[in-house]
Amino acid sequence: MDDFWSGVGVDLHLEPDASAGRRTGLERALRDAVRDGRLAPGTRLPATRRLAAELGVSRGTAKAAYDQLIAEGYLTARQGSGTDVAALPLDGVSAAAGAPRARAPLFDLRPGSPDVGTFPAAAWLRALRRAIATAPSLAYDYGDPRGRIELRTALSGYLGRARGVLAPPERIVITSGYVQGLALLARVLDGGTFAMEDPGLPFHRDVVRRGGGRVVPLPVDERGACAGRLPSVEADAVVVTPAHQYPTGVTLHPERRRALTDWARARGGLIVEDDYDGEFRYDRQPVGALQGMAPGQVAYLGTASKTLGPALRLGWMVLPPHLVDAVADAKLHSDHHTESIGQLALAEMINSHAYDRHVRACRLRYRRRRDQLLGRLGARQSVRGVAAGLHALVEVPDEAKTLARAAEEGLAVGYLGEHWHTPGDGGRTQGLVVGYGTPRERVYPEALEALGRVLGSG
C-alpha cells in the first residue's frame, strides 16, 4: 500500500504492509510507530473516517485497527475527544526511542546557568510587541551578518555606560551566544595558538580546537591569569575572564590587566575577553571591561545568557577594526545571521531601560543568595570568588570523597578537577564549584542545607 500523508490534525506517515492484509497491516504500522517513538504520547490521531479515506480502506477497517490498539494499550479514546497515543512504560519502548534518562538530582548547584525562573516574561513580551509593531518589513528578510542595526546601536550605548566598553555599532557583531563568537574567532585566526586559562572550561577549549586553533594553558593564581607567561608560549591570542575568572572566581589584578594589554600591543596579539557575568558585582562598583584599556587589541564577548536566559541565544562581539570584516564574513558563511526578532526585542528592552531594571533586580537577588551561601557555610569553609558572579569555589581536601557524599544527598555540583588542562596532576587545589544562580527560589534553602551536610558544616 502506498505511503500517505494525513491532512487532519497531524501529518501521519505510515507504511502499512499490504501483504499482511489491510487491517493487520494498518495495525502493525500504527503499533510500530508508537513503539519506536515516531508517534509520541499524547499525539492526536486522525478520525477513522478521514483515515479510511486517505488510505482507501473501509471505515470499519480503520476503526477495527484503532480498537485493537486501544485494547493493547497503545492508544486511548474518550467519547467526543478523539483517539490519542497512550503513554507507554519506559520498558515498553524500544531502544530506538532513546535510553532511559539518568535520574535528575534533587538539588542542582551546578554552575553555568542563571535562575531561569526569573526570566522577565512580561517585560520581554511588551518589548516583543513594540518591536514587531514598529519593525520594517525588511526585518523579516535576510539581514546583515553583523546583526540588526537597532540592537547594535542599543548595545553601543549600554556597553559604554554599564561596562566601559568602546563599542561603535559598526564594530559590533551579534551572535547566537559566546560559543559562536569564540568559534568565529578561531576560524578567522586559522591555525592560531590560543592561550587559555588553566583552570578553565574544557568545552571552550574544544570549541577553539574544532575551529582550527591550537590551545596552550595559561596558569591562574590568586591575582588571575598569569600574563607574564605569555611571551614564553608564543600565543597569537589569549582568552581570559577578567571580571570573574571561571572557575576560581578571582578578579584579574590591575597589574595583570596592564601586562596583558602591553603584551597584545608588543606582540600584535589578540585578547579575547569573556565578560560572561560582568554585570553581577556585589560589594563595590563593577570592574570595567578590559576592552576599555585597549580597544584595538581586545575582542569583547558578552551575552544575554546570564542576565536573561540561555534559550534566547543572543550574544555580541565588539571587535578591533581589523577583525570586523573577517568575522562578519565567517558569520555569513556560518549561519548568515542571528535571528532578527529577538534582536529587536532586546534592543527595545535596552532602550526602554527595562533591561537595566531587570539586571539590577537580579543583582540584588543573587547577592542575597551569595550571602545565604556564606552564612550557611560560615567560617569553617574556605570560600573564594564571592565578590561577583553566580558561582563560588569551596575548597575541600578530597574532591572524590566530597562528590560521593554529594551524590548520596542527591546534590549536583561542579568541581575544580574537571577544569584543569591536564587532569590528575597532584598538588593542585581541590574544590567544589557551587552555582547559586541555578536553583529556583523555593528550593535554594534546601539545596544549601544539603551542601552543608555534604561539607560537614551542619
* Per-residue model confidence as pLDDT tens digits over 7-29: 445 567 777 777 778 888 888 88
- Give me the residue spans of the domains in the chain: 4-97, 107-116+362-455, 119-355
**Contact status, residue 14 vs residue 4, Cβ threshold 8 Å:** yes
| Rounded distance between C-alpha atoms, residue 3 and residue 12, angstroms | 10
| Rounded distance between C-alpha atoms, residue 46 and residue 68, angstroms | 16
**Contact status, residue 263 vs residue 229, Cβ threshold 8 Å:** no
pTM of the complete model: 0.81
Sign of CA dihedral 217, 111, 405, 90: negative
Give the CATH fold of the 4-97 domain.
Arc Repressor Mutant, subunit A (1.10.10)
Task: Give the 3-state secondary structure of residue 195.
Answer: strand
Average pLDDT of the residues in 276-297:
89
Kindly list the distances between the CA atom of residue 334 and the CA atoms of 75, 176, 274, 372, 408, in Å, as whole numbers in the listed order: 43, 11, 21, 43, 44
Closest alpha carbon to 242 in 285, 289, 296, 297: 289
pLDDT, residue 98, reads 45
* Interval 31-48: pLDDT, tens: 888 888 888 898 888 888
pLDDT, residue 365, reads 95
DSSP string, 311-363: GG--EEEE--GGGHHHHHHHHHHHHSS--HHHHHHHHHHHHTTHHHHHHHHHH
* Grid coordinates of 363: 543583582
Cell 557583531 belongs to 173
Domain 107-116+362-455, CATH class in plain words: alpha beta
| Rounded distance between C-alpha atoms, residue 61 and residue 361, angstroms | 61
Higher pLDDT, residue 394 or 234? 394
Higher pLDDT, residue 127 or 10? 127
Domain 119-355, CATH class in plain words: alpha beta
| Rounded distance between C-alpha atoms, residue 156 and residue 443, angstroms | 38
Closest alpha carbon to 299 in 277, 278, 324, 276: 324
